[in-house]
Amino acid sequence: MEKITAIRGFKDILPQDALLFRKIESIARRIFDSFGFREIRVPLIEKTDLFKRSIGETTDIVEKEMYTFADRDQELITLRPEATASVIRAYIEHNMHAAEPITKLFTIGPMFRRERPQKGRFRQFNQIDVELFGEEKPQADAEIIFMLMHFLTGCGLQNLVLEINSLGCPACRPSFSKAVIDFLKGSEANLCPDCQRRIHTNPLRVFDCKVETCAATIARAPAILDFLCADCHDHFTQVKSFLDDLNITFAVNSRMVRGLDYYTRTAFEVKASTLGAQNAVAGGGRYNGLVSDLGGPAVPGIGFAVGFERLVSCLPDDGTNIFKTDLFVAALGSKAQKIAFGLTNQLRAQGLSAEMDYADKSLKSQLKRADKLNASFTLIFGDKEIEEQQALLRNMQTKDQQAIPLDRLPESIIKIIKER
């Protein structure tokens, strides 16, 4: 029989890692809650047009990375490659803008992109996605970046680098784009083949090319920050100022461009040095035109996404990522087994984590098992104890054992373990 494996790029999150995922999720929920963000859960599949319109027809994501299928009625549907589009769709669909001036949402879940897998990149991966609608003031930008950094450091991440940039707006970006294209065409000979292609497809991408000659050429290229209109310039200046006020250290990277078309003004990225080539652990930006582009009101928005797997992979090992068991019930003999079976399940029903062995094994092997399960206590009883109407509760760390009357077993055990 040939064994069936998971699809390429799709990973099982095994219990050990799931424990970390849970931990990160709970930190996220707690912090986002303090900042007034509410959880929203949106579908994993949307109409294909939603992503085409939001992410951009000519982006790599839409052109070659989406999982798109024909539904049974031939309508094209797509496994979401990112969450922002879906959240905005829901925001519009439920008229949230009318219910309150500012809406803060977050969602956690899997995204799908059909790329070639490598370190830190999978075809199904999880993101924490945060969106803030209805506020265009620079405080919103600073607030959301502050919350992101607070969250990442709260998870225990170190050596993070925050980079920010402003991508301008429909008023000022075109003149910059034109200047860049003119410049690139003038120095086309110095660029790598990929970049020569990019001049025509997506000129701004030339900015993060890693080829040396390209980087050297780009160093002399026009910078977006010199082309910002007065409003965008002012907005960016204030964002930086508010970040300073919040004691957030950042680096302005005027060459940072982002892969999604919808960003305006503030764009930011957080890099972690331990990640390998795919070193961005979070990224985001402002999208003032996107809500209306998707058929909603003219409401500004800003958001970010955190790569869950990437975050988890650079988490320091603090030794807390282990499973524990409150009680192991070691029964000896069939009579004791029968009682233990009822007792174990009764204790579980009352919230203790309890385990026992159904095979009639030696005490030694049962204690070994208890040890493997990181049991705090082991309850030992066999014929002798039944006769004496008691059981032995062994503290696995101190090796202390105390006798407990059988008729008060559950209550006494719960009391002792909870008081510990």
Query: Which residue is it, tokens 């410049």?
Result: 183
User: Minimal distance in Å, beta carbon 247 to RNA?
Assistant: 23
The answer to the question of residue 348 lying near RNA (CB under 7 A) is no
DSSP 5-24: -PPTT-----HHHHHHHHHH
Cα(316)–Cα(309) distance, rounded to whole angstroms?
A: 14
Q: Which of residues 29-58 bind RNA (CB under 7 A)?
A: none
Alpha helices in 229-380 (DSSP H): 230-245, 290-293, 308-313, 334-349, 363-372
Edge-first strand order for the sheet with 45-47 is: 45-47, 76-79, 67-70
Q: Which of residues 123-142 bind RNA (CB under 7 A)?
A: 125, 127
Specify the 3-state DSSP secondary structure of 410.
helix
Kindly tell me which residue out of 309, 354, 404, 409 binds RNA, with binding defined by CB under 7 A. 309
User: Minimal distance in Å, beta carbon 195 to RNA?
Assistant: 8
Q: Which of residues 67-106 bind RNA (CB under 7 A)?
A: 82
Question: Which residues, in sequence order, are bridge partners of residue 286?
Answer: 264, 302
- Please identify, using beta-carbon distances, which residue of 79 and 97 lies nearer to RNA: 79
* Residue 120 backbone zone (phi > 0: left; psi -120 to 50: alpha; other: beta): left
Kindly tell me which residue out of 122, 242, 262, 287 binds RNA, with binding defined by CB under 7 A. 122
How is residue 65 annotated by DSSP?
Answer: I
The answer to the question of residue 194 lying near RNA (CB under 7 A) is yes
Q: Which amino acid is at 93?
A: E
Cα(22)–Cα(40) distance, rounded to whole angstroms?
A: 18
Kindly tell me which residue out of 260, 294, 302, 352 binds RNA, with binding defined by CB under 7 A. 260
Q: Of 336, 169, 141, nearest to 250 (Cα)?
A: 141
User: Minimal distance in Å, beta carbon 403 to RNA?
Assistant: 10
User: Minimal distance in Å, beta carbon 183 to RNA?
Assistant: 18
- Please identify, using beta-carbon distances, which residue of 97 and 203 lies nearer to RNA: 203
Q: Which of residues 319-338 bind RNA (CB under 7 A)?
A: 332
The answer to the question of residue 394 lying near RNA (CB under 7 A) is yes
Tell me the C-alpha to C-alpha distance, in Å, between residue 287 and each of 101, 149, 176, 300, 344: 17, 20, 18, 6, 55
The answer to the question of residue 251 lying near RNA (CB under 7 A) is no
- Please identify, using beta-carbon distances, which residue of 104 and 310 lies nearer to RNA: 310
- Count of residues binding RNA (CB under 7 A)? 70
Cα(379)–Cα(311) distance, rounded to whole angstroms?
A: 40
Cα(397)–Cα(410) distance, rounded to whole angstroms?
A: 21
Q: What are phi and psi of 237, to 5 degrees?
A: -60, -40
- The stretch among 18-26, 89-97, 139-147, 304-312 that binds RNA (CB under 7 A) is 304-312
Q: Which of residues 209-238 bind RNA (CB under 7 A)?
A: 209-211
- Please identify, using beta-carbon distances, which residue of 57 and 100 lies nearer to RNA: 57
The answer to the question of residue 281 lying near RNA (CB under 7 A) is yes
The answer to the question of residue 269 lying near RNA (CB under 7 A) is yes
- The stretch among 39-47, 173-181, 242-250, 254-262 that binds RNA (CB under 7 A) is 254-262
Q: Which amino acid is at 304?
A: F
Q: Could you give the string, one character per residue 351-390, with x where binding to RNA holds by CB under 7 A and - elsewhere?
A: ----------xxxxx-xxxxxx-------xxxxxx-----
The answer to the question of residue 110 lying near RNA (CB under 7 A) is no
Neighbour tally for 359: CB within 10 Å: 7
User: Minimal distance in Å, beta carbon 51 to RNA?
Assistant: 12
* Cα end-to-end distance, the chain, whole Å: 51
Radius of gyration from C-alpha coordinates of the chain: 28
User: Minimal distance in Å, beta carbon 392 to RNA?
Assistant: 5
Kindly tell me which residue out of 12, 74, 399, 419 binds RNA, with binding defined by CB under 7 A. 399
Neighbour tally for 196: CB within 10 Å: 16
The answer to the question of residue 5 lying near RNA (CB under 7 A) is yes
Cα(413)–Cα(420) distance, rounded to whole angstroms?
A: 11
Binding site for RNA (CB under 7 A): 5-6, 8-9, 59-61, 65, 82, 113, 115-122, 125, 127, 194, 198, 202, 205, 208-211, 257-260, 269, 276-283, 305-307, 309-310, 332, 361-365, 367-372, 380-385, 392, 394, 396-397, 399, 401
